[in-house]
Chain A
Amino acid sequence: DAGVIQSPRHEVTEMGQEVTLRCKPISGHNSLFWYRQTMMRGLELLIYFNNNVPIDDSGMPEDRFSAKMPNASFSTLKIQPSEPRDSAVYFCASGGATQSGNTIYFGEGSWLTVV
């Protein structure tokens, strides 16, 4: 089975540009998470969706960040305009909702550098 698929794997962009990160969750999973990881802050939960609906976006740092999940198989995280402090690894993860467990599986991450 395919795991969580993220694109792009690496992105270098200039300050002020729009960045869009994409995620395809594991088929059948009903929860999707966006995390950001930096050396300074560690792993931060930005937002999570259940059944395509945003449940908690309290981790989204500011209005420059937005996330959507138009259907069960696709989500985007957009940064507009981007700033150098947004440089980080952005992980998408999906989780099942079965009685046997609710494990969260991560994609390989999108490594973003804003110069």
Chain B
Amino acid sequence: AQKITQTQPGMFVQEKEAVTLDCTYDTSDQSYGLFWYKQPSSGEMIFLIYQGSYDEQNATEGRYSLNFQKARKSANLVISASQLGDSAMYFCAMREGQGTNAGKSTFGDGTTLTVKP
């Protein structure tokens, strides 16, 4: 069975600094996708970044990058130059399979990030 672990219930970061949110996963699948989502206080779930298990390079999207270490089964999210608007809950997720074989998804419990001015 798939499992996502986010060990940091809450994190604080000073505005303009970088922050790393931890995520480890457990799966016996060779093919899978890893995702990060942001949930602000308004409640919507916003997709941030995706990494496929066969991707050799770490994914980047603007100020977001995913530090993918396959052997350690970790997929940490790095946010550079934090902004006040980054304060939110962040979820790490995994989806088994890729492409046309993509299937079930599993989410972690989330990390609440607070950016201090």
| Assembly CA distance A95 to B35 (angstroms) | 12
| Given contacts A109-B43, A109-B44, A55 and B107 within 8 Å (CB-CB) | no
| Given contacts A102-B99, A108-B43, A55 and B104 within 8 Å (CB-CB) | yes
Residue A61 is within 8 A (CB to CB) of chain B in the complex: no
| Assembly CA distance A86 to B60 (angstroms) | 38
Q: Which residue of A lies closest to B106 (CB)?
A: A45
The reply to whether B102 and A95 form a contact with Cβ atoms under 8 Å apart is yes
Residue A42 is within 8 A (CB to CB) of chain B in the complex: yes
| Assembly CA distance A63 to B84 (angstroms) | 44
Q: What's the least CB distance linking B20 to chain A, in Å?
A: 22
The reply to whether B99 and A55 form a contact with Cβ atoms under 8 Å apart is no
The reply to whether A43 and B91 form a contact with Cβ atoms under 8 Å apart is yes
Interface of A is mostly: strand
Q: Hey, which chain A residues are within 8 Å of B35, CB to CB?
A: 103-104
| Assembly CA distance A101 to B52 (angstroms) | 7
Q: Hey, which chain B residues are within 8 Å of A55, CB to CB?
A: 103-104
Q: What's the least CB distance linking A39 to chain B, in Å?
A: 11
Q: Which residues of A97-115 have CB atoms within 8 Å of chain B's CB atoms?
A: 97-99, 101-106, 108-109, 111
Which A residues have a C-beta under 8 Å from some C-beta of B? 31, 33, 42-43, 45, 48, 50, 55-56, 89, 91, 93, 95, 97-99, 101-106, 108-109, 111
Beyond the given A43-B91, A99-B100, A102-B102, please list 20 additional residue pairs across the A-B interface where CB-CB is below 8 A: A31-B102, A42-B110, A45-B105, A45-B106, A45-B107, A50-B103, A56-B104, A89-B43, A97-B102, A98-B100, A101-B98, A102-B33, A102-B98, A102-B99, A104-B35, A106-B45, A106-B47, A109-B43, A109-B44, A109-B45
